[in-house]
Amino acid sequence: MTLPNKIRATYKNGVIEPLAKLNLSEGQLIELEFKVLPSATTELTKEEKRNLIRKMCGSMKGTWGSTLEEIDANLRTERESWD
């Protein structure tokens, strides 16, 4: 049986939960190594968003939007694509 050597998982209530189904037999012994990934849900403050808009220039200007609402919508869409 060939399994991926790397999976993504969350830790909830003392249990590591894979984000995708694994093809393992019940009770199968496995060995895990893990690294803690940074949270992807950090929200920027309105001031941080304004500063990002001000910093955008040249060809990147407007890529994520020109208003806070447009940037929020684009960030939500990007985060949803990660799942």
Whether residue 59 is predicted with pLDDT greater than 50 in this model: the reply is no
Per-domain residue ranges of the chain: 9-82
Assigned token pair, 34:
């893990």
What separation in angstroms does the CA of 14 have from each of 10, 17, 35, 37, 51? 10, 10, 16, 17, 39
Predicted structure pTM score: 0.39
pLDDT 10s digits, 10-52 = 888 898 888 888 888 999 998 888 888 877 666 777 887 777 7
pLDDT at 47: 83
